Amino acid sequence: METDRLVTLLAAGITPVDKHAAARRFSWAVLAGALGATLLVLVFYGLRPDIGEMLVTPLFWAKVSLPVALAAGSLALTARLSRPGVTVGAAWAGLAVPIAIVWVAGLAVWSIAPADERALLLFGHTWRTCPFNIAFLSIPGFIAAISAVRGLAPTRLRMAGASAGAMAGATGTVAYCLHCPEMGVPFWAVWYLLGMALPTAVGALIGPRCLRW
């Protein structure tokens, strides 16, 4: 068989790939994760009683901005890791910069605080449960993110799984801010990040198995 004819036969019936398919997948994953986490907050935890006051408090929005920035950074990273041959490049900065900022800010607040207030700033009242609450709220987003990545063509499976887990963890943390009473920057720098690290680690563990194609 001639080569040209073989190519023609192989190409018959092929439809163009929708260039917006990946964007739609991730949009639905983020939406499902956000709505699912918010619903879990309302059902199992409830809104913090002073949520109305918090909505006009700059420190509250500073707290929310941490997981929002990490969700955006991990989304960009996951989108790159979901496509073969696409370099990650500076996408890592979307995670590194917010983490560095909250660590520096947390250390600064902790260092200038009176000695008898430092423990409260670091541990707050909920340090024992906070990371696990975040991990629980990450479940809807984790399922949606893994599903979105799996439907594409990732080749760096462990990194893609970790990035999807980070996206789910950050999305869950945004919802958790509606309930969490902690307003200490050192607390966020440790326990919020630890909570987001849990689904990140799970994603890294199951990525090679669940994302293989």
pLDDT (tens, 9 = 90+) of the chain, 213 residues, equals 466 665 565 555 555 555 667 788 899 999 999 999 999 999 999 999 999 999 999 999 999 999 999 999 999 999 999 888 778 888 889 999 999 999 999 999 999 999 999 999 999 999 999 999 999 999 999 999 999 999 888 889 999 999 999 999 999 999 999 999 999 999 999 999 999 999 999 999 999 998 887
Considering only CA atoms, give the Rg of the chain.
20
Q: Give domain status of residue 12, yes or no.
A: no
Which domain range does residue 181 map to?
34-210
Distance, in Å, from the CA atom of 1 to the CA atom of 191, rounded to the nearest integer, reads 65
Burial class (CB in 10 A: 0-12, 13-18, 19+), 202: buried
**Residues 153/213, Cβ–Cβ less than 8 Å:** yes
Number of domains the chain is built from: 1
Q: Give domain status of residue 25, yes or no.
A: no
pLDDT at 127: 97
Burial class (CB in 10 A: 0-12, 13-18, 19+), 92: middle
The 3-state DSSP class for residue 146 equals helix
Q: Give domain status of residue 16, yes or no.
A: no
Q: Give domain status of residue 111, yes or no.
A: yes
pLDDT at 143: 96
Q: Give domain status of residue 14, yes or no.
A: no
Q: Give domain status of residue 70, yes or no.
A: yes
SS3 content of the chain, % helix, strand, coil (to 5): 75, 0, 25
The whole model's pTM is what? Answer: 0.90
Token pair recorded at residue 168 = 């789910």
Q: Give domain status of residue 18, yes or no.
A: no
Q: Give domain status of residue 23, yes or no.
A: no
